[in-house]
Amino acid sequence: MQPTQAENRQAWADLKEAYDAGLLEWPASSRVSFFGELPGVPQCFADAIADQPNTPQRIDHIADQFDEPARDTRRIQYQDAGWRYFTRDLPGGAITVNTAYEIARFIVSPDESGQVRHVGTYVGVTDPATGDIQNLSPFDPWALEHAGVNGYWFLRLYQNTFGPMPPPDIAVPPAFVAGYPFPELPYWLDYRFQWGRDNNGTLFLIPSNHALRLYFVPTSDDEQLIKEMVGRLVGFTQPIDTLPAAKNALYAW
């Protein structure tokens, strides 16, 4: 027969009395109490921490934006980033089709939010007849295709800007590009953000501790018409836990 609850309670009371009296040794599993005192911090550690200077706290007064802008926690930091690739400087002196070229990178630190307000893209295509760079129409979204070059653009959000950022991706297979797609424009085939076009303003919200990376993937260049590739991401960053940052996220468009 199984013991009753009363018998179990009486057995436990007898065992505990024997343990407390020292007649029996406590089982190993019961020797450490979860509510016992934990070992304290070694004194040498406490002394080393005490010797460290305190981190100065920011002073956020309403006049800081005028008197001391560098100390203002609501500051806006402008960022204009991009690279230019000349095909003469690439391996083999030409682009590699079906590979990704990173042409701009907008970086947001862990304690900031970012807003990209402008995207600029440009591909210099040679005119086979004259050998000069063609002046592609800023009003033609398919200007590259009409000039004899095909390709597509895409954006990737890359996390962990707190560590060293990787070097620019040059001729990397698109499947090997790190990050995840930007939801608004995972990729596009047209030339909507061509350099010099007046309607390429954006409002892309970039999360904290992320970088927005712009890529171009040429899919055809049989006559090696591409001579240069340029990208540009322009915007600003600011502390994330501030009312101006929240207002800019809502109304900066």
- Can you give the residue ranges of every domain in the chain? 77-251
Tens digit of pLDDT for each residue in 132-171?
888 888 778 888 888 888 999 999 999 988 878 899 999 9
How close are the terminal C-alpha atoms of the chain, in Å? 78
In 7-99, the DSSP E strands lie at 77-81, 84-86
Closest CA to 165 of 87, 108, 94, 244: 108
Would you give the distance in Å from CA 191 to the centre of its chain? Answer: 25
List the one residue out of 222, 212, 225, 93 whose CA is nearest residue 157.
212
Predicted TM-score (pTM) of this structure:
0.69
More confident residue, 69 or 43: 43
Cα 246 to chain center, whole Å? 19
Strand, coil or helix: 2: coil
